[in-house]
Structure 1
Amino acid sequence: MLEEFDDSTDESTHPPRRTRRRMGRGRRILVSVLALVLLVVVGIGGYGWFLSSKVDRNLAHENLLGEARDQKTSSQGEKLVDDAGDNYLLIGSDARPGDGGRADVIQLVHVDEAKDNIWIIHFPRDLYVPIPGHGEDKINAAYAYGKSPLLVQTIQDLVGVKIDHVAQTDFEGFQELTDALGGVTVDNAQASPKYPAGATELDGDTALEYVRERKTLEEGDISRGQRQQAWLKGIMSKTLTPGVLLNPSKLNQVIDAGTEHTVVDNDLTSGTIRREAIGLRSARGEDIHFITAPFSGYGTTSEGASIDILDEQGMDELSDALRTDDLEGYDDSSG
């Protein structure tokens, strides 16, 4: 039943809110996203070579692609495009002790062929989609049914492109990363009982509380997504300052915190990491863009579970943009 995949920290119904599809509406931002940004930084210079090697030593490797690694066509028999940029699936968990395996965070990172832009596409965990071999269900149920390989196959079916690599992380790394930076400042757009609007200082514990908060916010998960993007902007801004980049000890701590809780697929080797980092050496914060996978509204299943309804036409447009490596055109047209 769908309910067994619900996050116990969320309510079963959505508060009234407006559907958004453009940049800045991701629900939770992975520590792994920042790890990708850090790879851009450490790909430069001799010390960068040392740090990129350290990243590889910290990362654990598992068979996260499974049979999807060799998949050339979708479940519908359509060819998966594999030569229009690179695609990384980032999976995160906010699980507490005793929780079962869930994919609370699902982000597809698309690096364009020119290595000029990074697009982070958030798939809401309640998005109701076809899951190979299991009919329609919430997208995070794919992970519960078949772990990372089935989630990879599900998303490949949706977007029509090959996923090259997978990374998994958890929120413990999120806390440690914030503390490694000595805390961050976020621009809080919406006040809540504990956090006033405007510039807000966060350490690891308060940052975790800040990005988990939902019930007191005007638009529930949408507002929480804005907070999590505000955290990402704060963390990136702090990371790219001379006080971090020119301080070997500090940068070393940040690299450790951003990678020690991350597991990657067996094919994501140190050589692959270094090549990507060197290719992205000119990318900066303004070259990272956010999109939410298209959905048309909210509903419930026959069992009463709350779902996000897939916008099939919008997903076709997103698929076209990925398959032609033109997400800039998609974002401009998505209003």
Structure 2
Amino acid sequence: MSKKEKSTKIILSLFIIGVLIFGGAFGYTFYELGKINTVKISKTDEDLGIKTDAAPQAEKDNGITNIAFFGLDRRTEKEPARSDSIMVLSVDTKNKKIKMSSIMRDTYVAVKGHDETKINHAYAYGGPQLAIRTLNENFDLNIRNYVSVDFFNLEKIIDSINGVTIDVAQDEVNLMNDYMNETARIEGKSISRITSSGPQTLNGLQAVAYSRIRYTSGGDFKRTERQRTVLTGMLTKIQSLGATEFPSVVSKLLPLTETSMSSMDVMALGTKVIASKTTALEQERFPVDGYCEGKTIGGVWYLKADLKATTDQIHKFIYEDAKPVSKTPLF
């Protein structure tokens, strides 16, 4: 496989799995981009909560583009959904990296028009536009675009690539089966139960169940790690597809995601990424250990973070390519 073909697969894979989707001007890719499910949102600084002195100059200087990714917890297509998975996806062409910054869904932040609450509520209150605004206003970012996918479509995406390989821990087995039973009742389907721990290929229903687990050691912190593990496994699997399989898989998967990016936006960014040979993938979770604590407010549990320190750490990770350092372990 040529470097050009490998770069194209990495880029398209990232979008398909909800991390990102880019395309270059490569024959079938241009045709498939017409199938992108584009949703218009306001792009004004005011509506997106972008400050005049926020990150744009840093992005211009460092060749960085940020896009929000939301994994939605909803049972029907029209149901107002909370974003159970929240990531800032940063294309860093200077350092030739794509970075995934997971934001803990219970983080206590200000949401425009709704006082302070959990950050994952913003999507349910005002869709992707308010969710992007909440990220921008609380972490001093200038995100203008997003990609979202719900659990049901994520399941279909994983099945389309014939599953992902995950090392399942013993304490995860029963919880995975419980989550699968819940989803199977909604979809009216049977399940293939997980019977043992260890490395194994999970189908869509199994992998989504794995990514939803939060009741083990590490709680929701561990859950965000599982979500990144599934996304990385999907990337690896899609990269392994042969040249004849790849176009067919892409055509099936594009309609399962939703984005504010137009085909031309995708083409422009894709060309930029390929030209810079950006291929490495890095990931972090915010807030990091030692800069947050669980706190019950009005009978509801929240994750109270040092937002000033967290904002600084996110900026250093995205713009200065510096990994955050925790103060003390939480578990």
Q: TM-score category by the smaller chain?
A: 0.7 to 0.9
Number of matched residues? 284
**Cα contact 2:111–2:122 (8 A) shared by 1:** yes
Counterpart in the other structure of 1:204: 204
Q: What SS does the corresponding residue of 2:105 show, helix, strand or coil? A: coil
Counterpart in the other structure of 1:96: 75
Using a 3 Å threshold, how does the CA distance of structure 1 residues 52 and 127 change in structure 2: closer, same or farther? farther
Using a 3 Å threshold, how does the CA distance of structure 1 residues 298 and 32 change in structure 2: closer, same or farther? farther
Which of the numbers 255, 258, 261 marks the counterpart of 2:253? 258
Residue 57 of structure 1 aligns with an amino acid whose one-letter code is G
Which of the numbers 289, 295, 300 marks the counterpart of 1:299? 295
Counterpart in the other structure of 1:315: 310
How far apart, in 1, do the equivalents of 2:227 and 2:314 lie? 25
How far apart, in 1, do the equivalents of 2:195 and 2:102 lie? 25
Which of the numbers 17, 21, 27 marks the counterpart of 1:34? 17
Query: Shift of residue 153 of structure 1?
Result: 1.6
Residue 171 of structure 1 aligns with an amino acid whose one-letter code is F
Which ranges of structure 2 fall in alignment gaps of 5 or more residues?
Answer: 1-12, 175-193
Which of the numbers 37, 45, 48 marks the counterpart of 1:60? 37
Which ranges of structure 1 fall in alignment gaps of 5 or more residues?
Answer: 1-29
Greater RCO, 1 or 2 (C-alpha within 8 Å, sep 6+): 1
Using a 3 Å threshold, how does the CA distance of structure 1 residues 79 and 71 change in structure 2: closer, same or farther? farther
Q: Does 1:145 align with 2:144?
A: no
How far apart, in 2, do the equivalents of 1:269 and 1:158 lie? 27
Q: What SS does the corresponding residue of 1:61 show, helix, strand or coil? A: coil
How far apart, in 2, do the equivalents of 1:229 and 1:197 lie? 19
Counterpart in the other structure of 2:28: 50
**Cα contact 1:65–1:152 (8 A) shared by 2:** no
Using a 3 Å threshold, how does the CA distance of structure 1 residues 205 and 316 change in structure 2: closer, same or farther? closer
How far apart, in 1, do the equivalents of 2:314 and 2:230 lie? 28
Deviations 1:69-116 (A, max 9, x none): 776853xxx622213111101122121148533222221111124261
Q: What SS does the corresponding residue of 1:53 show, helix, strand or coil? A: helix
Moved more, 124-133 or 139-148: 139-148
Counterpart in the other structure of 1:224: 223
Deviations 1:170-201 (A, max 9, x none): 12221122111122211235543336442111
**Cα contact 1:245–1:251 (8 A) shared by 2:** yes
How far apart, in 2, do the equivalents of 1:154 and 1:61 lie? 21
Query: Shift of residue 259 of structure 1?
Result: 1.9
Compute the TM-score of the two structures, normalised by the length of structure 2: 0.75
Query: Shift of residue 237 of structure 1?
Result: 1.3
Q: CA RMSD in A?
A: 2.9
Q: Does 1:290 align with 2:270?
A: no
Compute the TM-score of the two structures, normalised by the length of structure 1: 0.74
Counterpart in the other structure of 2:66: 87
Counterpart in the other structure of 1:4: none
How far apart, in 2, do the equivalents of 1:198 and 1:125 lie? 28
% identity of equivalent residues: 22
Using a 3 Å threshold, how does the CA distance of structure 1 residues 156 and 227 change in structure 2: closer, same or farther? closer
Residue 139 of structure 1 aligns with an amino acid whose one-letter code is I
